[in-house]
Chains A and B, each alone.
Chain A
Amino acid sequence: NAGVMQNPRHLVRRRGQEARLRCSPMKGHSHVYWYRQLPEEGLKFMVYLQKENIIDESGMPKERFSAEFPKEGPSILRIQQVVRGDSAAYFCASSPPLLGGNSPLHFGNGTRLTVT
Chain B
Amino acid sequence: AQKVTQAQTEISVVEKEDVTLDCVYETRDTTYYLFWYKQPPSGELVFLIRRNSFDEQNEISGRYSWNFQKSTSSFNFTITASQVVDSAVYFCALTGGTSYGKLTFGQGTILTVHP
Contact = CB atoms under 8 A, between A and B. Distances in A.
Nearest to A105: B101
A48 B43 contact: no
Contact of B107 (A42, A98, A100): A42
Nearest to B93: A43
Interface size class of B (residues with CB under 8 A): 20 to 34
Given A42-B91, A95-B100, A107-B45, A101 B105 contact: no
Contact of A91 (B45, B50, B55): B45
Interface size class of A (residues with CB under 8 A): 20 to 34
B43 A43 contact: no
A33 B43 CA distance: 18
B105 A43 contact: yes
B47 A107 contact: yes
Interface in B18-40: 35, 37
Q: Which of the listed residues B37, B93, B99, B102 has the most CB atoms from chain A within 10 Å of its own CB? A: B102
7 contacts: A31-B101, A43-B103, A98-B100, A100-B52, A102-B55, A107-B37, A109-B44
A-B CB proximity, top 7 nearest: A99-B100, A33-B101, A107-B45, A43-B105, A109-B44, A42-B105, A42-B107
